[in-house]
Amino acid sequence: MAMEFEKDTLDALAKALREVEKGFASLPGWGARAPGLERMPEVMQQVAERLQDNYPYFHPLYAGQMLKPPHPIARAAYALATWINPNNHALDGGRASSAMEREAVAEIAGMFGWKTHLGHLTSGGTMANLEALWAAGRLDPGKKIAASAQAHYTHHRIASVLGLPFVEIPADARGRMDMQALAARLASGEIGCVVATVGTTGAGSIDPLPEILMLRDRHHFRLHVDAAYGGYFSLAGNLTAETREAFDLIGQANSIVVDPHKHGLQPYGCGCVLFSDPGVGALYKHDSPYTYFTSAELHLGEISLECSRPGASAVALWATQRLLPIEPGGEFARGLEACREAALSLAKRLDGDSRWLVPFPPELDIVVWAPRAASVRLVSELSHRIFDAAARRGLHLALIHLPLSYFPAIQPDSTETHDTVLCLRSVLMKPEHREWVDRILVILDAAFEEVRGR
């Protein structure tokens, strides 16, 4: 049976559109017609053909990068909102969608135990992190931003955009920030903000929050938690005790970033930044001559660095959270648990197979591993060829350069000076992956044998 896209979204959309229309029924018709509509079928045909040129990100056999299909309700609600096209820059640009943004964001804050907060949606994790580091820089001028070598590369770039000095803290053999190295840097008093990554983009590693918080008691830095990828796993009931402890401490941070467009079932264009202290809002103060006419309340446009923002994103997120509340034990949480089970199962099967090296068990739903071979160069070559051979067989994995320190079993030969090795990586972020691990392994096995046979 060939795959088919879900299409009920289209009926739900048409029905809801007629409903929205009723809210504006008192307006006189104006017979507007968009130009060029008669050529639309022809151009849509071209669009459809162009879109065929993609990896099947939506399918369980796409198990490579961080790509997850939005929930049908997010798609439908987003599209529905575009008929109004609200702008959440200011309340008079999007009344309903601004209220929906506040409600949805408060629910995300609630996931970390926050009853008060300041926060809003952004175009993604990059902008959300930028706002958090911008606030840190404003509050502690001249101090440095510290993040681990496995933190998302965006932090280094953001620091340079903001003109803030940046310190990279080495990571340990599990991809977590090294606490001795952090303590040594903190002793100098130069660091104003530590970025802890809860779920690194590479391997889903969790920086040790309990130790970082102990250091904060002594050194008084701001703690920013980048949980762009991992944040929603706070709801999962099947984390290890160590990982759970870190998640339970996220609420101690001064700021948090979570990307609803990573694990929150949203289309791209949806990040979220949260501050524990609503007083941070004062930093955003400006006197715009253009907008804000309708309310004395703090507008979302007054607490965001981005000006125009899609109200549709807020509508989509709100709708998704109505359908699938973000709460432990719920359907949404079970989806995340299934992803983690998929990763545990894949890692266990690979670890029990002498052809592969698995450096550590996954903390979330990302598995990294390498083919066993006699040198760093050979491991890297094999990884690349297996990646290609798997793709030819319809299984899409990812490649990642990992520190050699993760793999004591890989011995560099005397001519090799690398400190990283090219490995395979699989982000199992669809709940369906749990049922697809066997099929994934069959293809991986065939790819390995094809490459080895050559």
Considering CB under 6 A, how many residues would be counted as binding ligand PLP? 14
Which tokens belong to 312? 């549709």
Which residue stretches of 352-406 are H helix? 376-392
Minimum CB–partner distance for residue 262 and ligand PLP (Å): 6
One of 72, 125, 359, 362 touching ligand PLP (CB under 6 A): 125
Distance CA 133, CA 256 (A): 11
Nearer to ligand PLP among residue 83 and residue 153 (C-beta): 153
Nearer to ligand PLP among residue 143 and residue 261 (C-beta): 261
Minimum CB–partner distance for residue 101 and ligand PLP (Å): 17
Which residues in 301-317 are b (16+ Cβ under 10 Å) and which e? bbbbebeebbbbbbbbb
**3-class DSSP state of 222:** strand
User: Of the ranges 90-98, 100-108, 121-129, 395-403, which one interacts with ligand PLP (CB under 6 A)?
Assistant: 121-129
Nearer to ligand PLP among residue 259 and residue 302 (C-beta): 259
Told to check if 368 binds ligand PLP by CB under 6 A, we report no
Told to check if 150 binds ligand PLP by CB under 6 A, we report no
Minimum CB–partner distance for residue 123 and ligand PLP (Å): 8
Nearer to ligand PLP among residue 93 and residue 175 (C-beta): 175
Mention every residue, 6+ apart, whose C-beta is less than 8 A from residue 365.
204, 336, 339, 340, 342, 343, 427, 428, 429, 433
In the chain, DSSP finds a helix count (H) and a strand count (E) of: 14, 11
- Max Cα separation, the chain? 81
One of 65, 126, 313, 380 touching ligand PLP (CB under 6 A): 126
Told to check if 185 binds ligand PLP by CB under 6 A, we report no
Nearer to ligand PLP among residue 148 and residue 380 (C-beta): 148
Q: Site map for ligand PLP, 200-229, x if CB under 6 A?
A: -x------------------------x-xx
| Nearest by Cα to 339 from 152, 63, 51, 9 | 63
Minimum CB–partner distance for residue 75 and ligand PLP (Å): 18
Query: What are the C-alpha distances in Å from 447 to residues 245, 388, 392?
Result: 39, 8, 9
Told to check if 255 binds ligand PLP by CB under 6 A, we report no
Nearer to ligand PLP among residue 98 and residue 197 (C-beta): 197
Question: Which residues face 87 on adjacent strands?
Answer: 310
β-strand 191-197 against 222-226: which pairing, if any? parallel
Chain contacts with ligand PLP (rule: CB under 6 A): 124-126, 129, 152, 154, 197, 201, 226, 228-229, 259, 262, 271
